[in-house]
Structure 1
Amino acid sequence: MTAVPDFVLGADEFRLLRHALHEALVPSGVFRVEGSGALQCVQGVYTNDVLRHAPNALMWGGVLTPKGMIVFDMWVLRDGDAAWMIVPGSAHDTASAAFARTFPPRIAKVTDRTGDVAISWILGHNPPAGPGVIVPAGPAPFSALRIREDGNDDSALPPPVAPAEWVNAARLLAGWPALGREIDDRTLPQEVRFDALDGVRHDKGCYTGQETVARLHFRGHPNRTLRGLRWHDARPTGSDVLIGERNVGTISTWGLIDGRALGMAKLRREVDTGADVDAGGATATVVELPFNDE
């Protein structure tokens, strides 16, 4: 992380983000899986419970290593006995290889639709009903997801189109982790709010990485958890979070809303909510996520 904020919103922009409808294209890898074993194959690699959700449900979760580390997070939209799998754009190649390795094409044929399907977030209240507009079954950093199967032409989106940085703002306000920011190759689901965000089910059948996730849930606790930071006056100029001279975390996302600096960091569990810390060289207070009071 650098001293450059991930987004800057004035008071009017923030009000529009919270209360007016906007649509933002989000770079994504998009795959569709079909076949007699499609849902069972997704179920076997996914932290959420695809089979328990309704036939048209949109849910969030993750694909893990056998040791329980997050490989990538993923939205899954059930479409009857088939499913759409939507991953961050940076995870496209990794996801493609993972599906090729673990999904037998005879019963679960995966088609890469990234080139001809666009994914966008609808931000604001009361998203309009329409083709491809799906309201999530649980928490989300958006009010609806839109899947457009007719290409990526922005002109086809209803105005107004949100600036790209509003995606990071919506994500931060929701306390939502992102691959390459809050999530890296050593991150466990419980460290980045998967429980709070309904991204993992502890009562489903086996999936890759479940043993570590279950052991941590029922018998232990993560050493780090994702928390919010609210700076007092100054802005961060670095990424380290310190108590005294001890490093207790790293700022992963931050931005300015009406001149106020807010951010997220994975912090050591012994750091109390409400504590003041040195966050990037400036004093900030540790707060729980999401930022509901902003």
Structure 2
Amino acid sequence: MTTHHSAQTLSIEGADAVAFAHAQFSSDVTALAVGQWQFSAWLDAQGRVRALFHLARLADDSLLLLLRGGVAADMADALRRFVFRSKVTLRALEPRTLGTGPVLAMHTVLHDEATLTLGCDTHSLIVGAANDNHWRLAQLRAGWPWLPAEVLNELLPPALSLLRLHAVALDKGCYPGQEIVARLHYRGGNKRHLHCVVLSQEALAGTALRRDEREIARLLDVVKIDDSFEALAVIADESVNAQSSKNFQITSDGMHLQLRESWPA
């Protein structure tokens, strides 16, 4: 698989940019310093993830989102319905290339007119640089989801391990889906979690794996390594708990998944 992810970016600018983003997104945007980025998400009223993204603060009144799946123009159109009287401008930028840069401290942001660089510890992501896939395996193994179109508006934050990534805050004011996030955290009820797996055969991101007509796993990003395929997968807890080993058949057509790593909510 040689699919390249494009850089879908969205700018939020204006005197109320941070306040607007803090009210809409699940992370603590007010804690984000200029020159830093954080994971964040936009949820619907039922707590499902509409968008997952890197949220970078370029200036006091300027934010930039790099979407991890989805279309920036669609998200900008949807967000505009909530602007009301806020002094904020939303603008979907033209899709750009997305490539791998050198080691840069986690959460660091560097930018100029041509490029945006996000520090990811062992590497960096560069928007507007040469297009390549080298960053994808490191981020897949770190459990950083990239959401195919098939799962947008479908998964709850715990299924994507967003609390671990600090993409959801439990101690901030109300935002869309906040009550669901709090209830799942304090009372439980989430029944799917994120895993890194090795696939026995090629499959596409977004593929639903079923047993007896029941969906028990959904593949997110899939990366080819030599002759094998690794993926992030959201798997039903009951399917994982029922296995006696980390290598198990999960579909009726012979697909096997070998678990490399699993993450909590």
TM bucket by the smaller chain? 0.7 to 0.9
User: Which secondary structure state, in structure 2, belongs to the residue aligned with residue 222 of structure 1?
Assistant: coil
Where do residues 163-182 of structure 1 align in structure 2 (5 Å cutoff)? 163=132, 165-166=133-134, 168-180=136-148
Tell me what 1:248 maps to: 216
Q: Say whether 1:125 aligns with 2:103.
A: yes
| Counterpart pick for 1:92 among 72, 76, 82 | 72
1:218 shift after superposition: 0.9
Q: Which has the higher contact order (CA 8 A, sep 6+)?
A: 1
CA contact (8 A) 1:7 1:166 kept: no
Q: Show structure 2 runs of 5+ residues with no match.
A: none
Work out the CA distance in 2 between the residues paired with 1:83 and 1:76: 7
Structure 1 residues 119 and 45 mapped into 2: Cα distance closer, same or farther (>3 Å)? farther
Give the count of matched residue pairs: 250
User: Which secondary structure state, in structure 1, belongs to the residue aligned with residue 24 of structure 2?
Assistant: coil
CA contact (8 A) 2:196 2:233 kept: yes
| Counterpart pick for 1:67 among 36, 41, 46 | 46
Q: Which amino acid is 2:6 matched to?
A: V
- Which 10-residue stretch deviates more, 239-248 or 117-126? 239-248
**Cα RMSD over matched residues?**
3.5
Where do residues 7-18 of structure 1 align in structure 2 (5 Å cutoff)? 7=2
1:146 shift after superposition: 3.9
Report the structure number with the largest CA radius of gyration: 1
- Which 10-residue stretch deviates more, 269-278 or 206-215? 269-278
- Which 10-residue stretch deviates more, 175-184 or 47-56? 175-184
Residues 244-269 of structure 1: CA distance to partner in whole angstroms, max 9, x if unpaired? 99752233333331323322221111
Q: Normalising by structure 1, what TM-score?
A: 0.70
Structure 1 residues 243 and 275 mapped into 2: Cα distance closer, same or farther (>3 Å)? farther
CA contact (8 A) 2:99 2:131 kept: no
Tell me what 2:175 maps to: 207
Q: Say whether 1:287 aligns with 2:253.
A: no
CA contact (8 A) 1:177 1:183 kept: no
| Counterpart pick for 1:222 among 162, 176, 190 | 190
Q: Calculate percent identity across the aligned residue pairs.
A: 20
Q: Which amino acid is 1:120 matched to?
A: L
| Counterpart pick for 1:40 among 1, 14, 19 | 19
